[in-house]
Amino acid sequence: MNEPEHPDDSLEKEELYSSYLDGELTEEEAREFEAKLASSPEERANFQAMKKTWEMLDYLPKPDVTMAFTAKTMEKMKALSNPTVAIKEYSYGDRGLLIAAALLVLFAGGFGVGSLSFNDTTRVDIELVNNLRLYENKNLYEQIENIEFLKKLDAPDLFGQEPSGL
Amino acid sequence: MLTAIGQSSAQYALRDPDIRLMLRVRADEPGAFEQLVLLFQQRLVVIMKPMVGSREEAEDLAQEAFLRVYKSRKNYHPKAKFSTWLFTIANNLALNSIRSKKRRPQVSYLTSESGQQQQVGVDQRLPEKQSQPEIHLHNVELADVIARALDGLNERQRMAVVLNKYEDMNYADIAVVMGLTPKAVKSLLSRARVNLREVLKKYIYMDGAAPENCEP
Protein backbone atom coordinates (compact mmCIF):
# COMPACT_ATOMS: atom_id res chain seq x y z
CA MET A 1 0.00 0.00 0.00
CA ASN A 2 1.32 3.42 -1.02
CA GLU A 3 1.81 5.99 1.69
CA PRO A 4 -0.05 9.30 1.14
CA GLU A 5 2.14 11.98 -0.36
CA HIS A 6 3.25 14.82 1.89
CA PRO A 7 1.66 18.14 0.76
CA ASP A 8 5.09 19.77 0.44
CA ASP A 9 6.24 16.98 -1.89
CA SER A 10 3.16 17.48 -4.02
CA LEU A 11 3.75 21.23 -4.17
CA GLU A 12 7.36 20.71 -5.15
CA LYS A 13 6.32 18.29 -7.86
CA GLU A 14 3.78 20.73 -9.30
CA GLU A 15 6.38 23.49 -9.30
CA LEU A 16 8.73 21.19 -11.15
CA TYR A 17 6.09 20.51 -13.83
CA SER A 18 5.43 24.21 -14.12
CA SER A 19 9.10 25.20 -14.33
CA TYR A 20 9.73 22.53 -16.96
CA LEU A 21 6.83 23.79 -19.09
CA ASP A 22 8.11 27.35 -18.78
CA GLY A 23 11.66 26.39 -19.74
CA GLU A 24 12.96 27.58 -16.38
CA LEU A 25 14.93 24.45 -15.52
CA THR A 26 18.61 24.10 -16.23
CA GLU A 27 19.59 21.51 -18.82
CA GLU A 28 20.60 19.06 -16.12
CA GLU A 29 17.37 19.56 -14.14
CA ALA A 30 15.35 19.11 -17.31
CA ARG A 31 17.13 15.83 -18.14
CA GLU A 32 16.50 14.50 -14.64
CA PHE A 33 12.85 15.46 -14.86
CA GLU A 34 12.39 13.77 -18.24
CA ALA A 35 13.95 10.57 -16.89
CA LYS A 36 11.54 10.65 -13.95
CA LEU A 37 8.56 11.10 -16.27
CA ALA A 38 9.69 8.22 -18.46
CA SER A 39 9.75 5.90 -15.48
CA SER A 40 6.42 6.87 -13.91
CA PRO A 41 3.11 6.59 -15.85
CA GLU A 42 1.27 8.34 -13.03
CA GLU A 43 3.58 11.36 -13.12
CA ARG A 44 3.36 11.38 -16.90
CA ALA A 45 -0.43 11.56 -16.75
CA ASN A 46 -0.37 14.35 -14.17
CA PHE A 47 2.15 16.28 -16.20
CA GLN A 48 0.19 15.79 -19.43
CA ALA A 49 -2.98 17.06 -17.75
CA MET A 50 -1.17 20.19 -16.63
CA LYS A 51 0.35 20.71 -20.07
CA LYS A 52 -3.03 20.25 -21.73
CA THR A 53 -4.70 22.69 -19.31
CA TRP A 54 -2.15 25.32 -20.26
CA GLU A 55 -2.76 24.71 -23.95
CA MET A 56 -6.49 25.18 -23.39
CA LEU A 57 -5.84 28.86 -22.73
CA ASP A 58 -5.23 29.16 -26.47
CA TYR A 59 -8.98 28.71 -26.97
CA LEU A 60 -9.53 32.12 -25.40
CA PRO A 61 -10.10 34.66 -28.16
CA LYS A 62 -7.71 37.57 -28.02
CA PRO A 63 -9.64 40.84 -28.17
CA ASP A 64 -8.95 43.16 -31.08
CA VAL A 65 -8.45 46.80 -30.28
CA THR A 66 -11.28 48.96 -31.63
CA MET A 67 -10.55 51.21 -34.61
CA ALA A 68 -10.94 54.39 -32.57
CA PHE A 69 -8.47 53.39 -29.87
CA THR A 70 -5.37 54.98 -31.40
CA ALA A 71 -7.19 58.18 -32.37
CA LYS A 72 -8.73 58.53 -28.91
CA THR A 73 -5.39 57.97 -27.22
CA MET A 74 -3.69 60.54 -29.43
CA GLU A 75 -6.49 63.02 -28.77
CA LYS A 76 -6.03 62.64 -25.02
CA MET A 77 -2.27 62.96 -25.41
CA LYS A 78 -2.73 66.23 -27.31
CA ALA A 79 -5.06 67.50 -24.60
CA LEU A 80 -2.26 66.82 -22.12
CA SER A 81 0.18 68.95 -24.06
CA ASN A 82 -2.33 71.76 -24.72
CA PRO A 83 -0.61 75.20 -24.61
CA THR A 84 -3.44 76.67 -22.51
CA VAL A 85 -2.33 74.26 -19.81
CA ALA A 86 1.31 75.15 -20.36
CA ILE A 87 0.70 78.90 -19.69
CA LYS A 88 -0.16 78.01 -16.09
CA GLU A 89 3.45 77.02 -15.60
CA TYR A 90 4.79 80.56 -16.33
CA SER A 91 6.38 82.39 -13.42
CA TYR A 92 4.87 85.59 -12.05
CA GLY A 93 7.62 87.65 -13.76
CA ASP A 94 6.86 86.05 -17.11
CA ARG A 95 3.16 86.66 -16.64
CA GLY A 96 3.80 90.38 -15.89
CA LEU A 97 5.82 90.72 -19.08
CA LEU A 98 3.11 88.97 -21.09
CA ILE A 99 0.40 91.26 -19.69
CA ALA A 100 2.50 94.39 -20.36
CA ALA A 101 3.16 93.27 -23.94
CA ALA A 102 -0.53 92.57 -24.49
CA LEU A 103 -1.51 96.00 -23.16
CA LEU A 104 1.08 97.68 -25.39
CA VAL A 105 -0.27 95.92 -28.45
CA LEU A 106 -3.83 96.86 -27.53
CA PHE A 107 -2.89 100.51 -26.95
CA ALA A 108 -0.93 100.81 -30.20
CA GLY A 109 -3.69 99.12 -32.14
CA GLY A 110 -6.36 101.33 -30.61
CA PHE A 111 -4.41 104.51 -31.37
CA GLY A 112 -3.88 103.52 -35.00
CA VAL A 113 -7.52 102.71 -35.58
CA GLY A 114 -8.58 105.93 -33.80
CA SER A 115 -6.39 108.22 -35.90
CA LEU A 116 -7.40 106.54 -39.11
CA SER A 117 -11.04 107.02 -38.30
CA PHE A 118 -10.48 110.72 -37.26
CA ASN A 119 -8.74 111.55 -40.57
CA ASP A 120 -11.49 109.94 -42.58
CA THR A 121 -14.21 111.87 -40.72
CA THR A 122 -12.48 115.24 -41.25
CA ARG A 123 -12.06 114.68 -44.97
CA VAL A 124 -15.75 113.75 -45.41
CA ASP A 125 -16.95 116.80 -43.42
CA ILE A 126 -14.97 119.33 -45.54
CA GLU A 127 -16.29 117.80 -48.75
CA LEU A 128 -19.87 118.00 -47.43
CA VAL A 129 -19.55 121.70 -46.53
CA ASN A 130 -18.09 122.64 -49.92
CA ASN A 131 -20.87 120.94 -51.84
CA LEU A 132 -23.74 121.50 -49.46
CA ARG A 133 -26.04 123.14 -52.03
CA LEU A 134 -25.44 120.34 -54.46
CA TYR A 135 -26.33 117.70 -51.87
CA GLU A 136 -29.43 119.63 -50.76
CA ASN A 137 -30.84 119.75 -54.32
CA LYS A 138 -29.61 116.35 -55.40
CA ASN A 139 -33.14 114.98 -55.97
CA LEU A 140 -34.13 117.96 -58.07
CA TYR A 141 -31.00 117.89 -60.21
CA GLU A 142 -31.48 114.25 -60.96
CA GLN A 143 -34.77 115.05 -62.76
CA ILE A 144 -33.11 117.45 -65.20
CA GLU A 145 -31.52 115.79 -68.13
CA ASN A 146 -29.93 118.87 -69.79
CA ILE A 147 -27.64 121.37 -68.08
CA GLU A 148 -28.35 124.04 -70.77
CA PHE A 149 -32.02 123.96 -69.83
CA LEU A 150 -31.10 124.50 -66.24
CA LYS A 151 -29.02 127.57 -67.13
CA LYS A 152 -31.93 129.10 -69.14
CA LEU A 153 -34.22 128.72 -66.15
CA ASP A 154 -31.74 130.78 -64.23
CA ALA A 155 -31.93 133.69 -66.79
CA PRO A 156 -33.67 136.85 -65.29
CA ASP A 157 -35.59 137.83 -68.48
CA LEU A 158 -37.57 134.60 -68.45
CA PHE A 159 -39.39 135.06 -65.13
CA GLY A 160 -38.21 138.49 -64.07
CA GLN A 161 -36.72 139.48 -60.73
CA GLU A 162 -38.83 138.63 -57.77
CA PRO A 163 -38.96 141.10 -55.00
CA SER A 164 -36.60 140.00 -52.32
CA GLY A 165 -39.18 140.66 -49.67
CA LEU A 166 -41.59 137.90 -50.91
CA MET B 1 21.16 60.58 -28.52
CA LEU B 2 22.85 57.58 -26.94
CA THR B 3 25.63 59.64 -25.37
CA ALA B 4 23.02 61.86 -23.74
CA ILE B 5 21.33 59.02 -21.86
CA GLY B 6 24.29 57.48 -20.03
CA GLN B 7 26.32 54.39 -20.76
CA SER B 8 24.16 51.70 -19.12
CA SER B 9 20.99 53.19 -20.63
CA ALA B 10 22.73 53.28 -23.98
CA GLN B 11 23.52 49.57 -23.67
CA TYR B 12 19.87 48.82 -22.97
CA ALA B 13 18.83 50.98 -25.89
CA LEU B 14 21.18 49.17 -28.24
CA ARG B 15 19.62 45.85 -27.28
CA ASP B 16 15.97 46.89 -27.20
CA PRO B 17 14.41 48.72 -30.19
CA ASP B 18 11.40 49.59 -28.00
CA ILE B 19 13.71 51.58 -25.73
CA ARG B 20 15.01 53.49 -28.74
CA LEU B 21 11.43 54.30 -29.69
CA MET B 22 10.65 55.45 -26.15
CA LEU B 23 13.73 57.68 -26.20
CA ARG B 24 12.32 59.30 -29.36
CA VAL B 25 9.06 59.84 -27.44
CA ARG B 26 11.08 61.42 -24.63
CA ALA B 27 12.71 63.76 -27.17
CA ASP B 28 9.19 64.77 -28.38
CA GLU B 29 9.95 63.51 -31.86
CA PRO B 30 6.79 63.91 -34.00
CA GLY B 31 4.99 60.63 -34.61
CA ALA B 32 7.03 58.63 -32.10
CA PHE B 33 4.31 58.37 -29.46
CA GLU B 34 1.72 57.27 -32.00
CA GLN B 35 4.14 54.62 -33.24
CA LEU B 36 4.54 53.39 -29.67
CA VAL B 37 0.77 53.24 -29.18
CA LEU B 38 0.32 51.29 -32.42
CA LEU B 39 3.06 48.89 -31.44
CA PHE B 40 1.76 48.04 -27.97
CA GLN B 41 -2.00 48.72 -27.96
CA GLN B 42 -3.05 45.21 -28.92
CA ARG B 43 -0.63 43.56 -26.48
CA LEU B 44 -1.81 45.76 -23.61
CA VAL B 45 -5.49 45.10 -24.25
CA VAL B 46 -4.86 41.34 -24.49
CA ILE B 47 -3.20 41.46 -21.06
CA MET B 48 -5.83 43.74 -19.52
CA LYS B 49 -8.93 41.90 -20.76
CA PRO B 50 -8.59 38.78 -18.56
CA MET B 51 -7.73 41.02 -15.63
CA VAL B 52 -10.77 43.28 -15.77
CA GLY B 53 -13.28 41.21 -17.76
CA SER B 54 -14.56 43.56 -20.44
CA ARG B 55 -12.83 44.85 -23.56
CA GLU B 56 -14.12 48.38 -22.96
CA GLU B 57 -12.54 48.54 -19.54
CA ALA B 58 -9.39 46.87 -20.84
CA GLU B 59 -9.11 49.60 -23.49
CA ASP B 60 -9.70 52.35 -20.93
CA LEU B 61 -6.91 51.00 -18.76
CA ALA B 62 -4.59 50.50 -21.72
CA GLN B 63 -5.22 54.10 -22.73
CA GLU B 64 -4.48 55.26 -19.20
CA ALA B 65 -1.22 53.28 -19.27
CA PHE B 66 -0.16 55.04 -22.48
CA LEU B 67 -1.01 58.45 -21.06
CA ARG B 68 1.07 57.70 -17.97
CA VAL B 69 3.96 56.75 -20.21
CA TYR B 70 3.56 60.05 -22.05
CA LYS B 71 3.30 62.11 -18.86
CA SER B 72 6.44 60.58 -17.39
CA ARG B 73 8.42 60.54 -20.65
CA LYS B 74 10.84 63.25 -19.53
CA ASN B 75 11.85 61.18 -16.51
CA TYR B 76 12.31 57.97 -18.48
CA HIS B 77 15.71 56.33 -18.00
CA PRO B 78 15.95 52.81 -19.40
CA LYS B 79 16.86 50.32 -16.70
CA ALA B 80 15.22 47.22 -18.13
CA LYS B 81 13.28 46.22 -21.24
CA PHE B 82 10.74 48.84 -22.22
CA SER B 83 7.90 46.29 -22.23
CA THR B 84 8.72 45.40 -18.61
CA TRP B 85 8.27 49.04 -17.63
CA LEU B 86 5.05 49.37 -19.63
CA PHE B 87 3.57 46.19 -18.15
CA THR B 88 4.53 47.31 -14.65
CA ILE B 89 2.35 50.38 -15.19
CA ALA B 90 -0.39 48.17 -16.63
CA ASN B 91 -0.19 45.76 -13.69
CA ASN B 92 -0.58 48.60 -11.18
CA LEU B 93 -3.53 50.05 -13.07
CA ALA B 94 -5.25 46.67 -13.35
CA LEU B 95 -4.78 45.84 -9.67
CA ASN B 96 -6.04 49.29 -8.62
CA SER B 97 -9.08 48.84 -10.84
CA ILE B 98 -9.83 45.40 -9.40
CA ARG B 99 -9.43 46.66 -5.82
CA SER B 100 -11.76 49.58 -6.41
CA LYS B 101 -14.30 47.19 -7.96
CA LYS B 102 -14.10 44.96 -4.91
CA ARG B 103 -15.34 47.85 -2.83
CA ARG B 104 -18.43 47.89 -5.03
CA PRO B 105 -21.02 45.04 -5.19
CA GLN B 106 -19.41 41.66 -5.82
CA VAL B 107 -20.07 40.86 -9.45
CA SER B 108 -17.76 39.66 -12.14
CA TYR B 109 -18.15 40.87 -15.71
CA LEU B 110 -17.57 38.22 -18.29
CA THR B 111 -17.83 38.97 -21.96
CA SER B 112 -18.95 36.20 -24.23
CA GLU B 113 -17.55 35.64 -27.71
CA SER B 114 -20.42 37.61 -29.21
CA GLY B 115 -19.28 40.61 -27.20
CA GLN B 116 -22.38 40.53 -25.02
CA GLN B 117 -21.62 41.31 -21.43
CA GLN B 118 -23.11 39.22 -18.66
CA GLN B 119 -23.17 39.91 -14.95
CA VAL B 120 -22.31 36.82 -13.00
CA GLY B 121 -22.45 36.44 -9.24
CA VAL B 122 -19.37 35.15 -7.46
CA ASP B 123 -20.99 31.80 -6.67
CA GLN B 124 -21.66 31.30 -10.39
CA ARG B 125 -18.17 32.10 -11.60
CA LEU B 126 -16.92 28.56 -11.92
CA PRO B 127 -18.59 25.80 -13.88
CA GLU B 128 -20.68 23.46 -11.79
CA LYS B 129 -18.56 20.54 -10.73
CA GLN B 130 -21.36 17.99 -10.97
CA SER B 131 -22.55 18.88 -14.47
CA GLN B 132 -21.63 16.47 -17.24
CA PRO B 133 -20.02 18.34 -20.15
CA GLU B 134 -21.43 17.68 -23.56
CA ILE B 135 -19.15 15.77 -25.86
CA HIS B 136 -19.24 18.26 -28.66
CA LEU B 137 -18.96 21.42 -26.70
CA HIS B 138 -18.62 24.28 -29.09
CA ASN B 139 -15.31 26.18 -29.07
CA VAL B 140 -17.13 29.33 -28.08
CA GLU B 141 -18.65 27.66 -25.07
CA LEU B 142 -15.31 26.13 -24.21
CA ALA B 143 -13.74 29.58 -24.37
CA ASP B 144 -16.42 30.76 -21.95
CA VAL B 145 -15.61 27.93 -19.54
CA ILE B 146 -11.89 28.73 -19.74
CA ALA B 147 -12.56 32.45 -19.22
CA ARG B 148 -14.52 31.61 -16.09
CA ALA B 149 -11.75 29.34 -14.86
CA LEU B 150 -9.22 32.12 -15.38
CA ASP B 151 -11.55 34.56 -13.67
CA GLY B 152 -11.63 32.18 -10.69
CA LEU B 153 -7.90 32.67 -10.05
CA ASN B 154 -6.85 35.44 -7.72
CA GLU B 155 -5.62 38.59 -9.48
CA ARG B 156 -1.91 37.93 -8.88
CA GLN B 157 -2.12 34.41 -10.27
CA ARG B 158 -4.11 35.74 -13.22
CA MET B 159 -1.56 38.45 -14.00
CA ALA B 160 1.32 35.95 -13.77
CA VAL B 161 -0.58 33.61 -16.12
CA VAL B 162 -1.34 36.24 -18.79
CA LEU B 163 2.19 37.66 -18.75
CA ASN B 164 3.65 34.18 -19.08
CA LYS B 165 1.15 32.88 -21.59
CA TYR B 166 0.54 35.89 -23.84
CA GLU B 167 3.78 37.85 -23.43
CA ASP B 168 5.99 34.80 -23.08
CA MET B 169 7.72 36.46 -20.14
CA ASN B 170 10.18 34.56 -18.03
CA TYR B 171 9.99 34.43 -14.23
CA ALA B 172 12.59 37.18 -13.79
CA ASP B 173 10.66 39.67 -15.97
CA ILE B 174 7.31 38.79 -14.41
CA ALA B 175 8.94 39.32 -11.00
CA VAL B 176 9.99 42.85 -12.02
CA VAL B 177 6.52 43.68 -13.37
CA MET B 178 4.75 42.39 -10.27
CA GLY B 179 7.31 43.47 -7.68
CA LEU B 180 7.96 39.90 -6.53
CA THR B 181 10.89 37.48 -6.44
CA PRO B 182 11.30 34.94 -9.27
CA LYS B 183 10.70 32.20 -6.70
CA ALA B 184 7.36 33.76 -5.75
CA VAL B 185 6.43 33.91 -9.44
CA LYS B 186 7.28 30.22 -9.82
CA SER B 187 5.01 29.43 -6.92
CA LEU B 188 2.19 31.67 -8.27
CA LEU B 189 2.29 30.05 -11.69
CA SER B 190 2.41 26.55 -10.28
CA ARG B 191 -0.62 27.16 -8.05
CA ALA B 192 -2.45 28.83 -10.91
CA ARG B 193 -1.86 25.79 -13.11
CA VAL B 194 -3.06 23.41 -10.40
CA ASN B 195 -6.23 25.48 -9.89
CA LEU B 196 -6.91 25.65 -13.62
CA ARG B 197 -6.36 21.92 -13.98
CA GLU B 198 -8.84 21.23 -11.19
CA VAL B 199 -11.53 23.34 -12.80
CA LEU B 200 -10.87 22.31 -16.38
CA LYS B 201 -10.06 18.63 -15.93
CA LYS B 202 -13.47 17.59 -17.31
CA TYR B 203 -12.75 19.45 -20.51
CA ILE B 204 -9.08 18.68 -21.03
CA TYR B 205 -9.42 15.87 -23.56
CA MET B 206 -12.55 17.11 -25.26
CA ASP B 207 -10.69 17.96 -28.45
CA GLY B 208 -10.48 14.24 -29.14
CA ALA B 209 -6.83 13.82 -28.21
CA ALA B 210 -6.27 10.83 -25.99
CA PRO B 211 -4.25 11.27 -22.82
CA GLU B 212 -0.64 10.43 -23.65
CA ASN B 213 1.18 7.72 -21.76
CA CYS B 214 -1.79 7.22 -19.49
CA GLU B 215 -2.42 3.68 -18.43
CA PRO B 216 -6.01 2.41 -18.41
Please report, for the domain that includes residue B92, its CATH number.
Answer: 1.10.1740.10
Residue B78 and residue B133 in one domain: no
Cα–Cα distance, B61 to B52 (Å, whole number): 9
Confidence of residue B104 (pLDDT cuts 50, 70, 90): low
Name chain A contacts of B142, Cβ cutoff 8 Å: 56, 59
Is A84 inside a domain boundary? no
pLDDT value at residue A47: 93
Quick check: B190 and A17 CB within 8 A?
yes
Residue B4 and residue B81 in one domain: yes
Residue B49 and residue B145 in one domain: no
Looking at B12-21, B34-43, B91-100, B206-215, which range is the least confident one?
B206-215
Quick check: A69 and B50 CB within 8 A?
no
Quick check: B197 and A77 CB within 8 A?
no
Residue B92 and residue B147 in one domain: no
Average pLDDT, chain A: 74
Is B113 inside a domain boundary? no
Q: Tell me the pLDDT tens digit for each residue of A37-87.
A: 999 999 999 999 999 999 999 988 888 898 899 999 999 999 987 756 444
Are B202 and B137 a contacting pair, CB within 8 Å? no
Is B114 inside a domain boundary? no
pLDDT value at residue A131: 74
- Of B162, B155, B153, give the one whose Cα is nearest residue B194: B153
Give percent of chain A with pLDDT exceeding 90. Answer: 33
The minimum CA-CA distance between B7 and chain A, rounded to whole Å, is 30
Are B190 and A18 a contacting pair, CB within 8 Å? yes
Cα–Cα distance, A106 to A128 (Å, whole number): 33
Structural domains of chain B, count: 2
Average pLDDT, chain B: 82
Which A residues, 73 through 112, put their C-beta within 8 Å of a C-beta on chain B?
A: 73-74, 76-77, 80
pLDDT value at residue B14: 73
Measured CA distances, B193 to A12, A51, B42, B199, B200 (Å) = 13, 9, 25, 10, 10
Are A36 and A13 a contacting pair, CB within 8 Å? no
Structural domains of chain A, count: 2
The minimum CA-CA distance between A106 and chain B, rounded to whole Å, is 35
Residue B11 and residue B96 in one domain: yes
Residue A53 and residue A97 in one domain: no
Q: Does A34 touch chain B (CB under 8 A)?
A: no
Quick check: B212 and A48 CB within 8 A?
yes
- For A45, the closest of B190, B191, B214 (CB atoms) is B214
pLDDT value at residue A124: 61
Residue A39 and residue A97 in one domain: no
Name chain B contacts of A73, Cβ cutoff 8 Å: 37, 41, 63, 66-67
Write out the residue range of the structural domain in which residue A132 sits: 90-156
The angle that helices A7-21 and A41-56 make with each other, rounded to 10 degrees, is 60
Is A76 inside a domain boundary? no
- For B200, the closest of A21, A56, A74 (CB atoms) is A56
Looking at A78-87, A89-98, A105-114, A119-128, which range is the least confident one?
A89-98
Torsion of CA A126, A127, A129, A134, to 10 degrees: 180
Looking at A11-15, A75-79, A101-105, B187-191, which range is the least confident one?
A101-105
Looking at A23-32, A144-153, B127-136, which range is the least confident one?
B127-136
Q: Which of A34, A55, A56 has the most B C-beta neighbours within 10 Å, making it the best mutation to test the interface with B?
A: A56
* ipTM of this complex prediction, to 2 decimal places: 0.75
Is A26 inside a domain boundary? yes
Residue B149 and residue B63 in one domain: no
Residue A94 and residue A55 in one domain: no
The minimum CA-CA distance between B142 and chain A, rounded to whole Å, is 7
Quick check: B150 and A60 CB within 8 A?
yes
Q: Tell me the pLDDT tens digit for each residue of A100-112.
A: 666 776 666 665 5
Is A163 inside a domain boundary? no
Quick check: B170 and A52 CB within 8 A?
no
Residue B2 and residue B98 in one domain: yes
Measured CA distances, B155 to A54, A90, B87, B103, B161 (Å) = 17, 44, 15, 15, 10
Quick check: B146 and A66 CB within 8 A?
no
Q: Tell me the pLDDT tens digit for each residue of B137-176.
A: 667 788 889 999 999 999 999 999 999 999 999 999 999 9
What pTM was computed for the model?
Answer: 0.66
Give percent of chain B with pLDDT exceeding 90. Answer: 61
Measured CA distances, B79 to A78, B16, B27, B136, B181 (Å) = 27, 11, 18, 50, 17
Q: Tell me the pLDDT tens digit for each residue of B47-88.
A: 999 999 899 999 999 999 999 999 999 999 998 899 999 999
Name chain B contacts of A69, Cβ cutoff 8 Å: 41, 45, 59, 62-63
pLDDT value at residue A87: 43
CATH number of B147's domain: 1.10.10.10
pLDDT value at residue B215: 41
The minimum CA-CA distance between B40 and chain A, rounded to whole Å, is 11
Is B121 inside a domain boundary? no
Quick check: B165 and A54 CB within 8 A?
yes
Write out the residue range of the structural domain in which residue B177 sits: 126-207
pLDDT value at residue A19: 96
Is B97 inside a domain boundary? yes
